[in-house]
Amino acid sequence: MVEIEGTPQSLILGRVKGMYVDDLVSERDAKGRLKVHAERVDPIARLGAGEYLSFGEIHRRVRPA
For residue 54, how many other CB atoms are within 10 A of its CB?
8
Residue 21 phi, psi (nearest 5): -125, 125
Does 7 reside within a domain? no
| pLDDT tens for each residue of 6-62 | 888 888 899 999 989 999 999 999 999 999 988 888 888 888 888 898 877 777 888
- Count how many domains the chain has: 1
What is the extent of the structural domain holding 25?
19-65
Q: How far is CA 46 from CA 28, 54, 56, in A?
A: 28, 9, 15
Residue 64 has pLDDT above 80, yes or no: yes
Give the pLDDT score at 30. 94
Does 11 reside within a domain? no
Does 64 reside within a domain? yes
CB 37 within 8 A of CB 26: yes
